[in-house]
Amino acid sequence: MRHFLSILDTSSKELDDLLTLATRLKTEWQSGGNEPLLSGKVLAMVFQKPSLRTRVSFDMGMRHLGGDALYLSPDEIGLGKRESISDVSRVLSGYVDGIMARVFDHEHILELARYATVPVINGLSNFNHPCQALADVLTILENFGHLEDLNVAFIGDGNNVATSLLFSCARLGMNFSIASPEGYGLPEDVIGKAKEIAQETEISIKSTRDPIEAVKNAQVIYTDTWVSMGQEQEMKQRELDFTPYQVNAELVSQADPSAIVLHCLPAHRGQEITDEVADGPHSKIFPQAENRMHAQKAVLVTLMG
Ligand code: CP
Ligand code: NVA
């Protein structure tokens, strides 16, 4: 692995290795602290959009491993505006040991990686959110002790988070179903690529309009915002279209009794998820958020160690 840009570019073996390392680093941290595997190393964190989890989990992950992180806000760099992406990439490569970037257009993270001489990590693009998916899978693994043959149901927008989750399911042997309103499903090419991967792992991939059908027999129910960053002008229409796609107690009761509920956060409580579910017995959203840090430490050590 040279960069971590998409689950699509990450093999099942690489994902397995990252999960094993994440588990080891988490246990080590819980038992008193991590070895300084990234001593003296610095990660530049470039943000074109706001963040809580990605920013803080990467920063703390670097500190725990003996390194440091630099936060570069949207206004500071002006990625592609004040300065071309290729120039930013080459300049940063001379100063730091790794670059994590949150961008709008996935092409921008690819361009950063093309010109960088240090590893580049995707901290969310419009196409996908691989760091989130790794934390999601770690959380599922911790809860069930295995991944193969679990049924994962995504309720809502076929967005970046749904895309990474689907690719992870296809790579790691979990069946995937998604319920979305018409016009908001996963892109055809994403489903097509996942189906190619699924020929090896033999998982099933289903798309439906019916949330109840999607969660039937599901051990994992996942949702995300109806309005991703950059789509704020569509908010009113989306809120109308997604209203029947709320993850509430009634929907959770239709799933497997052992089901866990995941959400990448930030949550819009009362919209895609109710308080009752987010704070209820099935919810694993806060362990999942903590796992961002543990999963990303594995990525950092693998790429920068
Ligand atoms: N889940 C996630 O990426 O959260 P932030 O947008 O707060 O980083
Ligand atoms: N789909 C959301 C995820 C936020 C972590 C977005 O892109 O805004």
Confidence of residue 80 (pLDDT cuts 50, 70, 90): confident
Residues 85 and 166 in one domain: no
What average pLDDT score do residues 185-208 get? 96
Q: Is the CB of 229 under 6 A from ligand 1?
A: no
Read off the pTM: 0.98
Known catalytic residue at 129 = yes
pLDDT of 81-121, one tens digit each? 899 999 999 999 999 999 999 999 999 999 999 999 999 99
Q: In angstroms, rounded to a whole number, what is the distance separating the alpha carbons of residues 44 and 47?
A: 10
Known catalytic residue at 53 = no
Calculate the alpha carbon distances from 187 to 4, 193, 211 in Å: 22, 10, 18
Q: What CATH number has the domain bearing residue 281?
A: 3.40.50.1370
What average pLDDT score do residues 177-200 get? 97
Q: Is the CB of 109 under 6 A from ligand 1?
A: no
Residues 253 and 277 in one domain: yes
Residues 153 and 28 in one domain: no
Q: Which atom of ligand 1 is nearest to the CA of 102?
A: 8
Find out whether 171 and 196 touch, Cβ atoms under 8 Å: no
Residues 122 and 182 in one domain: no
On whether residue 256 sits in a domain, the answer given is: yes
Residues 146/148/153/156 CA torsion (nearest 10 deg): 90
Known catalytic residue at 149 = no
pLDDT of 114-145, one tens digit each? 999 999 999 999 999 999 999 999 999 999 99
Find out whether 216 and 255 touch, Cβ atoms under 8 Å: yes
Residue 75 in this model has a pLDDT that exceeds 90: no
Known catalytic residue at 171 = no
Q: Which atom of ligand 2 is nearest to the CA of 161?
A: 1
Ligand closest in space to the Cα of 225: 2
Residues 139 and 283 in one domain: yes
Q: In angstroms, rounded to a whole number, what is the distance separating the alpha carbons of residues 305 and 302?
A: 6
Residues 262 and 117 in one domain: no
On whether residue 248 sits in a domain, the answer given is: yes
Domain ranges, residue 13: 7-129+292-304
Find out whether 301 and 65 touch, Cβ atoms under 8 Å: yes
Counted domains in the chain:
2
Ligand closest in space to the Cα of 133: 1
pLDDT of residue 87: 96
Surface-to-core class of residue 292, CB atoms within 10 Å of its CB (0-12 exposed, 13-18 middle, 19+ buried): buried
Q: Which atom of ligand 1 is nearest to the CA of 54?
A: 8
For residue 132, report the distance from its CA to the centre of ligand 1, in Å.
8
Mean pLDDT of all residues belonging to the chain: 97
Known catalytic residue at 294 = no
Q: Is the CB of 124 under 6 A from ligand 1?
A: yes
Residues 92/94/97/103 CA torsion (nearest 10 deg): 20
Confidence of residue 77 (pLDDT cuts 50, 70, 90): confident
pLDDT of residue 275: 98
On whether residue 228 sits in a domain, the answer given is: yes
Residue nearest to atom 1 of ligand 2 (CA): 228
Catalytic residue among 129, 238, 263, 282: 129
Residues 111 and 25 in one domain: yes
**Distance of alpha carbon 173 from the chain centroid:** 17
On whether residue 268 sits in a domain, the answer given is: yes
